[in-house]
Amino acid sequence: MQSKMKESDPILEVENLSASTDNLPILKGVSLTVYPGEIHAIMGRNGCGKSTLSKIIAGHPSYNITNGDIKFLGDNINSLEPEERSQSGIFLGFQYPIEIPGVSNLEFLRVSTNARRKFLNKEELDTFDFEELVKEKLEIVKMDHAFLSRSVNQGFSGGEKKRNEILQMALLEPKIAILDETDSGLDIDALRIVASGIKKISNAQTGIILITHYQRLLDEIKPNYVHVMSDGQIIKTGESDLALELEEKGYEWTDNFIKET
Amino acid sequence: MVNENLVKDVVKEPYKYGFVTDIETEKIAKGLNEDVIRLISQKKEEPKYLLDFRLKAFKKWQKMEEPDWAGLGYKQIDYQDIIYYSAPKQKEKISSLDEVDPKLLETFDKLGIPLTEQKKLTNVAVDAVFDSVSIATTFREELAEHGVIFCSISEAVKNHSDLIEKYLGTVVPASDNYFAALNSAVFSDGSFVYIPKGVTCPMDLSSYFRINSGDSGQFERTLIIAEEASSVSYLEGCTAPMFDTNTLHAAVVELIALDDASIKYSTVQNWYAGDEEGIGGIFNFVTKRGKCLGKRSKISWSQVETGSAITWKYPSCLLLGEESVGEFYSVALTNNLQQADTGTKMIHIGPKTKSTIVSKGISAGNSKNSYRGLVKMGTKATGSRNYSQCDSMLIGDQASANTFPYIKSQQPNSEIEHEASTCRISEDQLFYLQSRGIEFEEAVSMMVSGFCRDVFNQLPMEFAAEADKLLALKLEGSVG
C-alpha cells in the first residue's frame, strides 16, 4: 500500500501479524509500516483490535503472537520484554493509564527516564538534575509541579492522566509513539494541550500512531495515513481525507469493504 | 500464566544471614524442669526474688495449655527437646571488648553490626545478644554521662536490682499467656534501658539478637523504663542461621512510660524463615506490650516483619494515663510457606487517650498473613479516639491474607475508626511500569515499597533505608 519510495529505513514494520488471548484470535493478519516523520491514524469500531495491536507492539504478556513479525528499526522484537521495548524507544500511551498507589510520580518518572537514558548510553540523572529536566517538560503539557509529588495517576482526573502520559512521552523521547485513544475523555482545552504537546515532541525522525474514534484530534494533528480496522484486520488505508469520509458516513460504510475483500 | 511464574521467581528469597559461627559453647542439657530453672538462675547469680519469680511462672506454665486460636499450623513443640541455656564460652568477667572472642566480633561484623571501638556505628548504641547472653554493649560511658542505663538485663539484675524488682512483670505478668509464662521461667538475657527524668536519650539505642545454636531456644527479655518527660528511640534487629529444624524464640518486651515520656520501639525482624518447602525456620512467638502509665505519655511500636517460619505477636499499648498515645505501624511480608499472625491491642483506659494503627501485610507464595487486632474503650476512656487502617497486598494467587479486627467499646463518648483494603499487584500495573522501561523485579519492589510507605515513614532514618533494602532483597530473584 505504501508504494512510494522512501529515503530512510522504516521505524516499525508489522508484518501479517496474528495474535490471540486465551486461544481467542484477536488480530488476523495485520500489516503496517511506519517511516520516520510519519503520522498514522488507526480507526475502527470498539473491539476491532486497535488497542490489542498497540498492546502487542508494546509487549503485553496476555497476548500470544500466533503468526507474523514485529520489527523495530529492522530487528525482530517478537520476544523482547516490555521494558526492553520501552528502553529502545517504543512508547505506548495508555487508553486507561494505570494507578499505582504509594509510588511517587516523580520517582516513577525518574526511574523510567533513567532506564531509557541508560540504554542510550546517556548519563543517568540524580534527583536534582531530573527536577530541572522535568520542569522543562511540564511546560509542554501545562502540568503543575504538584503532580509530581502525588502517587502515579492516583486521584488524577481523566484529563490529568492523559497529560501525564504525554509528559512521559516527552521525557522518554521515543522513536515511535503509539497513542491509544489519548483524546478520549478530554475537553476541548485539554485536547489542544495534548495535541500541541504531541506535535512538539515529534519530529522528522519519529513516528506516531494515533488510535482514535474522533476527527477532532486529527484536525489538530494531521495524519499522513488513515487505516480502518475491522475484526482484527486493516480493511482500508487512505490519506487524511479518509477520516473525514468516515466521520460523515460512519463505520457502517466500511462494512462494504469487508465484503469487497 | 507466564506472569504468575515470574512473580514466584521474583519473590524467591536469598537469606544471607544463614551462616553458623563455629564457637565453643556452654550448653546445659535439653529439657525443662525446676532444676533447669534453678540452674539458669544460679548461673546468672540471681537474687532470690528473681528465682521465685521464675519458679512461680514455671508452675503457672505447667498448668497452662498451648493456645491454638490463631489457626497457625505447626508441628507440636516438644518442650523437653529444647536447650534452655546456651552461651559462647569466654572469660568470666569481661572488662573490655578486647577480651571478647574475636569470632563473636567477626560474627556481628558480618551481620553489619560492628562492635569494636574503631568500627562501631557512630550514632547508635548497640547491645549484642548471642544465643542466651549479651556479648557487648557499646557507648555505655557516653550514655552514663546522661544518666541513661543501657545494659544487658543480667547486668541490670546485678547492678540495678531495685528497678528490676519494681518493674519486671508489671506490664506482661508471668501468667499473661503460655509463651510469656515460659519466658518468665527461663529467660536468659536481653536488654535493659532506663532513661532518667527529663532526659532525651542522646542517641538511638539498639539490640541485635542473634540465634546461633540449632537446638536451643532463645528467650530474651527486654525492659525499658522512661521516667517523667524523658524520651528514647530503641531499635531491634534479629537474624539466625539456616537449620532444617525449627527453633523457638519466645521473647517478652515490656515498656513503661511515665508522665510526658515517650518511647519509640522499632523492630526489623529477619529470623531465618525456612526453605521453600517450609523446612526449618524460627517460631517467633513473642509478647510485647507497653504501658503508658503517665499523663501525656506516648508509646510507638513500628515493626518490619520479614523473617521467621511463624510470627505470632501483637505489640500492644495499655493507655492508662490521661491523654496518653499509642501507635502501631507494621509491615509484615510472608513468602513460601511462612505464616504470620500479627497485630496489636490498644487498650484505652484513661480519658482522652489516642491510638493509631497502620498495618500493611504482604503475602506471596503459599504464605498466610493475618492482621489480628483489638481496640478497646474502657468505661473511663471518655473522649478517646482510635484510627485503624489495615491493608493487605497479595502477590500471586496462592497466598492468603486475613484481617480480624476486634472492637469493644464500653464508652459511648469515644470514637473508633477502621479502614481495611486488599489489593493484588495486578498484571496491568506491572505491565504499565514495564512499558516505561522499568525491569520486572524493580517494578514489583517499587510497588511493594509504595504500599509500605506509610509505615516506612515512621521508622528511624537508618532503619527505613535498611527495611526498604530488606524488602527488595526478599523480593529479588537473583541468587546471592
How far apart (Å, rounded) are the C-alpha atoms in residues A96 and B58? 63
Residue A98 backbone class (left: φ over 0; alpha: ψ -120 to 50; beta: rest): beta
With an 8 Å Cβ cutoff, the interface of chain A facing chain B consists of: 58-62, 81-83, 85-87, 92, 94, 97-98, 100-104, 107-108, 111-112, 115-116, 119, 151, 168, 172
CA A140 to chain CA mean position, Å: 18
Place A3 in a pLDDT band, splitting at 50, 70 and 90.
very low
Does residue B327 contact residue B355 with C-beta atoms inside 8 Å? yes
Among all residues of chain B, which has the CA nearest to that of A81? B434
pLDDT at A229: 94
CA count, 13 A, side-chain hemisphere, A202: 26
Tell whether B276 lies on the interface with A, counting CB pairs under 8 A.
no
B126 DSSP β-pair partners: B206
CB-CB neighbors (< 8 A) of B428 in chain A:
98
pLDDT at B207: 83
**Which of B402, B407, B447 shows the shortest CA–CA distance to B424?**
B447
- CA gyration radius, chain A: 18
Tell whether B449 lies on the interface with A, counting CB pairs under 8 A.
yes
**Integer CA distances (angstroms), A53 to A14, A49, A62, A217, in order:** 10, 6, 12, 20
Residue contact A83–B428, C-beta within 8 A: no
Q: How is residue A89 written as a grid cell?
A: 524507544
**Which of B474, B365, B399 shows the shortest CA–CA distance to B13?**
B474
pLDDT at B364: 85
Give per-residue pLDDT as tens, A151-190: 999 999 999 999 999 999 999 999 999 999 999 888 888 8
Residue contact A86–B436, C-beta within 8 A: yes
**Which of B87, B175, B76 shows the shortest CA–CA distance to B131?**
B87
CB-CB neighbors (< 8 A) of B452 in chain A:
102
Residue contact A102–B452, C-beta within 8 A: yes
pLDDT at B93: 53
- Residues contacting B383, CB < 8 A, separation 6+: B351, B352, B413, B414
Tell whether B71 lies on the interface with A, counting CB pairs under 8 A.
no
For chain B, residues with pLDDT lower than 70 are: 1-16, 18, 90-99, 111-113, 117-123, 131-133, 135, 238-243, 462-463, 466, 470, 472-480
Does residue A169 contact residue A175 with C-beta atoms inside 8 Å? no
CB-CB neighbors (< 8 A) of A108 in chain B:
433, 436, 438, 446
Secondary structure (3-state) at B231: strand
CB-CB neighbors (< 8 A) of B5 in chain A:
none
Give per-residue pLDDT as tens, A217-238: 999 999 999 999 999 999 999 9
Among all residues of chain A, which has the CA nearest to that of B428? A98
pLDDT at B209: 77
Tell me the pTM.
0.81
Tell whether B433 lies on the interface with A, counting CB pairs under 8 A.
yes
Q: How many residues does chain A have?
A: 261
Residue A103 is nearest to which of B423, B437, B450, comparing CB atoms? B450
CB-CB neighbors (< 8 A) of B426 in chain A:
98
pLDDT at B308: 82
Tell whether B3 lies on the interface with A, counting CB pairs under 8 A.
yes
Tell whether B431 lies on the interface with A, counting CB pairs under 8 A.
yes
Instruction: Classify residue B177 by its DSSP letter.
Output: S
How far apart (Å, rounded) are the C-alpha atoms in residues B378 and B397? 41
How far apart (Å, rounded) are the C-alpha atoms in residues B208 and B220? 11
How far apart (Å, rounded) are the C-alpha atoms in residues B91 and B61? 34
How far apart (Å, rounded) are the C-alpha atoms in residues B59 and B81? 19
Secondary structure (3-state) at B193: strand
Q: How far is B112 from chain A (nearest CA, A)?
A: 27
Q: How is residue B76 written as a grid cell?
A: 507440636
Beta carbon pairs, A and B, within 8 Å: 79
pLDDT at A161: 94
**Which of B310, B107, B100 shows the shortest CA–CA distance to B211?**
B107
Tell whether B4 lies on the interface with A, counting CB pairs under 8 A.
no
**Which of B380, B371, B303, B370 shows the shortest CA–CA distance to B347?**
B380
How far apart (Å, rounded) are the C-alpha atoms in residues A116 and B328? 40
Query: ipTM of the predicted structure?
Result: 0.94
Q: How far is B392 from chain A (nearest CA, A)?
A: 13
Q: How far is B429 from chain A (nearest CA, A)?
A: 6
Does residue B413 contact residue B354 with C-beta atoms inside 8 Å? no
Instruction: Classify residue A148 by its DSSP letter.
Output: G
CB-CB neighbors (< 8 A) of B3 in chain A:
61
**Integer CA distances (angstroms), B326 to A32, B31, B352, B355, in order:** 63, 39, 12, 5
Q: How far is A129 from chain B (nearest CA, A)?
A: 19
* Dihedral sign computed on CA atoms, order A174, A178, A180, A185: positive
Residue B439 is nearest to which of A83, A102, A172, comparing CB atoms? A83
* Dihedral sign computed on CA atoms, order B18, B20, B25, B30: positive
Tell whether B472 lies on the interface with A, counting CB pairs under 8 A.
no
Secondary structure (3-state) at A81: coil
N-terminal to C-terminal alpha carbon distance within chain B: 27
**Which of B66, B46, B204 shows the shortest CA–CA distance to B139?**
B204
How far apart (Å, rounded) are the C-alpha atoms in residues B387 and B420? 11
Tell me what the mean pLDDT of segment A231-250 comes to.
89
pLDDT at A210: 96
